[in-house]
């Protein structure tokens, strides 16, 4: 499922990849990022996706933003779309990744407001490395 864009102008930003390692941004479908990686490596179709991403991200960086969900109830932040890209970003030691976000459970629209950095803890703003709004 792909969330639709509000007013044609979703808010996008960049977040430090270390937020994935620190458990501040979790995988939606797996208990850990290591578990996500193991799962993808075991399935041939996923493994092929990882191989393509490994080649493209190492030369061009992450072009497609990860879609992050922020649970309204407890401010848990998770990757909704982009698990393969996140796994490769961690593997390659990418410094940051582009993202868009939405409030969960309202998966109706990608937000056009800045990311609620406080969801990442007291130093949440420090995890954001760049912010921009794309037309």
Segment holding 38, helix H or strand E: helix 33-42
Would you call 49 helix, strand, or coil by DSSP?
A: helix
- Model confidence, pTM: 0.88
Tell me the pLDDT of the chain (135 aa) as tens digits: 455 555 566 788 999 999 999 989 999 989 999 999 999 999 999 999 999 999 999 999 999 999 999 998 999 999 999 999 999 999 999 999 999 999 988 666 788 888 999 999 988 989 998 655 444
**What string of DSSP letters covers 90-121?**
HHHT-SEEEEEEEEES-TTEE--S---GGGG-
C-alpha closest to that of 86 among 71, 97, 102: 97
């Amino acid at each position: 499922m792909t969330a639709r864009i509000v007013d044609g102008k979703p808010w996008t930003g960049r977040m430090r990849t270390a937020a994935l390692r620190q458990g501040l941004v979790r995988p939606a479908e797996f208990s850990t990022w290591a578990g996500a990686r193991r799962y993808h490596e075991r399935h041939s179709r996923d493994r092929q996706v990882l191989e393509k991403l490994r080649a493209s991200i190492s030369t061009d960086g992450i072009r497609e933003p990860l879609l992050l969900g922020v649970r309204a109830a407890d401010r848990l932040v998770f990757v909704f779309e982009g698990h393969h890209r996140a796994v490769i970003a961690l593997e390659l030691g990418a410094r940051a990744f582009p993202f868009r976000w939405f409030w969960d459970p309202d998966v109706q629209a990608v937000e056009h407001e800045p990311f609620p950095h406080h969801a990442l803890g007291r130093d949440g703003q420090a995890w954001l490395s760049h912010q921009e709004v794309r037309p």
